Homo-oligomer: A and B are copies of this chain.
Amino acid sequence: MAGTGWRGYFLSVFDYKTEKYVIAKNKKVGVLYRFVQLAILAYIVWWVFLTKKGYQEVEESIQSSVITKLKGVILTNTTETGVHIWGPEDYVIPPQGEKVFFIITNFIETPKQVLGYCAESSRVPDGRCTENVDCAEGEMVVAGHGIKSGRCLKKDRNSTGTCEIYSWCPVERGRQPREPVLGRAENFTIYIKNFIQFPKFGFSKSNVLKTNDDQYLKKCSYDKIQHPYCPIFRLGDIVRWAGHNFQEMAVKGGSIGIMIEWNCDLDRDYSQCNPHYSFARLDVNSASSSVSSGYNFRFAKYFKNPAGQTYRTLVKVYGIRFDILVYGKAGKFNIIPTIINIGSGLALMGAGAFFCDLILLYLIKQSTFYREKKFELTKKDKSKKDIDGADGQKNPVK
């Protein structure tokens, strides 16, 4: 042995230790092993790195800001309201151009409501009664319009009537129109401007074509092939691409999702990162069941007459709510996921070697021979001078 004490130990730190290998000249196992190695290499290079981009760090938290603007004008003529011209300031709720907005396609107006006593609507279950005692004074009508006064109003003695209530009278009675009043909203156009950023990579982009042509955005319309950077869509087209019919949906209302997907490979050029639009109806699960179909809500416009008394117009609107959902991910080369995937690949190689070892040592004809070559036996009561062999025989000194 070389050296003494610390010096020897220190020098031995710089000895290079390498595993000893046994060469088994068995072509079958050798070919199988090379084949396994090639398969694992092909998997790592082609599947993990090229297809799944395993060398990239991925960010899925996209920051998005959406601005929308509707255009289109429509004229309606109803019995209660007469003629009315609807512009975006009327049928878009809310009007600020946000990413969630509602387009009125159908409505029921109950004008000139004032506070007072009148009969509850017969369509409210809790408002029905046969005797005065059914209407407890001061009690709120469940899912109704007012507070019960204590009297039951009915046409004649034997019929079922409804409670008299203190509420905004007359109570809303209109039957929902069968045809959507604003059915021609189908021709309205929406302009969607989407600005996104991936903060982890400091990358940001917008979906609008940079152009010097003032008139381009005023005349173009979205087309997947010819005008992919003109984010102006016709409402009827959006509903059609979602797989539904605008006129049918417009009767009771519904909910449409406009999905904007940004799938960006930031190792490529800036211009390669573009949005992909898709459309789906979001209240679809209930399209067959009538329990939760449609979309409607109510709002009221308040006025004061010359006497200073308040009166209001109650409007129940049905319509299509558009939800613009922006999602996506960006990937960029990063050393850590690369190392992790390479490391896992190397571990797989080790598993491949383990598998071939099994075949060599246990399954082929000469397995016993190779086992003896691979595993060197040691006995702890032998002297240091033993020559290693399969059965540890001693060579006696002559």
Q: How far is the CA of A142 from the CA of B302 in the complex (A)?
A: 32
Q: How far is the CA of A298 from the CA of B69 in the complex (A)?
A: 10
A391 within 8 A of B: yes
Which of B13, B65, B210, B347 contacts A342 (CB under 8 A)? B347
A75 within 8 A of B: yes
A265 within 8 A of B: no
- Report whether over half of chain A's contact residues are helix, strand or loop; otherwise say mixed: mixed
A17 and B21 form a contact (CB under 8 A)? yes
A243 within 8 A of B: no
A299 and B89 form a contact (CB under 8 A)? yes
B18 and A19 form a contact (CB under 8 A)? no
A115 and B84 form a contact (CB under 8 A)? yes
A363 within 8 A of B: no
B380 and A295 form a contact (CB under 8 A)? no
A306 within 8 A of B: yes
A153 within 8 A of B: no
Residues from chain B with a CB closer than 8 A to the CB of A369 are 378, 380, 384
Residues from chain B with a CB closer than 8 A to the CB of A27 are 11, 14-15
Given A199-B259, A342-B347, A384-B390: A85 in contact with B166 (beta carbons within 8 A): yes
Residues from chain B with a CB closer than 8 A to the CB of A177 are none
A21 and B24 form a contact (CB under 8 A)? no
A78 within 8 A of B: no
Which of B16, B59, B69, B389 contacts A384 (CB under 8 A)? B389
Residues 83-107 of A at the B interface (beta carbon under 8 Å): 83-85, 87-90, 93-98, 100, 102
Which of B31, B54, B259, B357 contacts A18 (CB under 8 A)? B357
Residues from chain B with a CB closer than 8 A to the CB of A218 are 125, 143
Q: Tell me how far the C-beta of A357 lies from the nearest C-beta in chain B, rounded to whole angstroms.
A: 6
A19 and B16 form a contact (CB under 8 A)? no
Would you mind naming 16 contact pairs between A and B with Cβ atoms under 8 Å apart? Answer: A16-B356, A17-B24, A18-B353, A18-B374, A19-B20, A20-B21, A21-B374, A22-B376, A65-B325, A85-B146, A98-B100, A193-B292, A195-B255, A217-B291, A305-B306, A342-B351
A377 and B73 form a contact (CB under 8 A)? no
Q: How far is the CA of A285 from the CA of B270 in the complex (A)?
A: 14
A145 within 8 A of B: yes
Q: Tell me how far the C-beta of A322 lies from the nearest C-beta in chain B, rounded to whole angstroms.
A: 10
Chain B's closest residue to A306 (CB) is B306
A67 and B283 form a contact (CB under 8 A)? yes
A152 within 8 A of B: no
Q: How far is the CA of A97 from the CA of B213 in the complex (A)?
A: 38
Size bin of chain A's contact surface = 35 or more
A26 within 8 A of B: yes
Which of B85, B205, B208 contacts A167 (CB under 8 A)? B85
Residues from chain B with a CB closer than 8 A to the CB of A30 are 13-16
Q: Tell me how far the C-beta of A324 lies from the nearest C-beta in chain B, rounded to whole angstroms.
A: 10
Residues from chain B with a CB closer than 8 A to the CB of A289 are 210-212
Q: How far is the CA of A59 from the CA of B329 in the complex (A)?
A: 11
Q: Tell me how far the C-beta of A13 lies from the nearest C-beta in chain B, rounded to whole angstroms.
A: 7
Q: When A and B form their complex, which 7 residue pairs have the shortest distance between CB atoms, in order from nearest?
A: A343-B347, A343-B344, A14-B30, A16-B30, A89-B298, A20-B20, A206-B285
Q: How far is the CA of A240 from the CA of B31 in the complex (A)?
A: 69
A331 within 8 A of B: no
Given A16-B356, A85-B147, A90-B300: A23 in contact with B378 (beta carbons within 8 A): yes
Of A154-162, A244-252, A333-341, which binds chain B? A333-341
A225 within 8 A of B: no
